[in-house]
Amino acid sequence: MRLFAEAWAWLAAPEQWSGTDTLPDRVGEHLLYTLVALAVATLVAVPLGYLVGHTGRGRQLTVALTGAGRALPSLGLLTVLTLLVGVGDARVAATVVLVVLAVPSVLAGTYAGVENVDHAVTDSARAVGMTPWQVLTRVEAPLGLPLLVGGMRSAALQVIATAVLAAYVGLGGLGIYVQRGIALRRYEEMLGGAIAVVVLAVVVDVLFAVLARIAMRVAGQQGRLSASTPTEGRS
């Protein structure tokens, strides 16, 4: 309990909130790494996930790749990439590692969302004359939105946790407190940094929980609209 009290005292210390190298600065760096990795992963994984979910082609390969991506050792991959591109480009290496980590969850959520749409709904949409592109964008994508948001939520939490490793290649983020605390045996700083990472993860998780509820509403509205489309098409 004493260590926790010291960690909270370290977090509340004025020098952590004013001047240079402050806690908000490190949180901003950590969030920047997370947002960039999640944005790139989304640009890569969502179109591929829609393609796999809509056509059914390449599903087995996609499942295998997502499983392999989750099994990669993040620290080992970060070290190898940093050595390949050079310490001066360590930021690029860290971003690549975080993107590789985020892609499997986003990809799985995207294709699962499309794949789980009731075939009766998509058949009805085709029956009223919708093109494959319209079926995807107007029916499958909206109905699969909750699972896509769930995949992004999982990816964001994984990236936040793994971005701590960026400090080991000379970058910032909240991981610098953990690394420095271990190296200098300042355990209150190490624990304080870990607490900051946990709090950040909880805040991001709450935001995605709100997005998930919005996605459920969108999917529900689209589901009711899709159910009425066949009747409207025949009238």
Q: Of 112, 141, 135, 127, whose CA–CA distance to 52 is shortest?
A: 112
At residue 219 the predicted structure's pLDDT band, cuts being 50, 70 and 90, is confident
Q: How large a percentage of the chain has pLDDT more than 70? A: 94
Q: How far apart are alpha carbons 205 and 147 in whole angstroms?
A: 15
Can you tell me the mean pLDDT for 35-51?
93
Residue 55 has phi, psi (to 5 degrees) of: -95, -25
Whole-number pLDDT of residue 198: 94
Position 235 pLDDT exceeds 60: no
Distance CA 33, CA 158 (A): 12
Confidence bin at 205 (pLDDT 50/70/90): very high
Domain residue spans of the chain: 2-229
Nearest-5° Cα angle at 212, 210 to 217: 100
Q: What pLDDT, on a 0 to 100 scale, did the predictor assign at position 230?
A: 47
| pTM confidence score | 0.86
Amino acid, single-letter form, for residue 84:
L
pLDDT at 124 over 60: yes
> For position 148, what pLDDT does the model report?
94
pLDDT of residue 3: 87
Q: Which residue has the tokens 């986003």?
A: 106
Q: What percent of the chain has pLDDT over 90?
A: 37
Please give the CATH superfamily to which domain 2-229 belongs: MetI-like (1.10.3720.10)
- List Cα–Cα distances, 43 to 75, 94, 139, 152, 197, in angstroms: 24, 18, 20, 12, 26
Show Cβ contacts of residue 32 under 8 Å, excluding neighbours closer than 6 positions: none
pLDDT for 141 beyond 80: yes
pLDDT tens digit sequence for 165-200 = 888 877 788 999 998 898 888 999 999 999 999 999
* Per-residue confidence band for 87, with pLDDT thresholds at 50, 70 and 90: low
Q: How far apart (Å, rounded) are the C-alpha atoms in residues 24 and 16?
A: 8
Supply the Cα-derived Rg of the chain in whole angstroms. 22
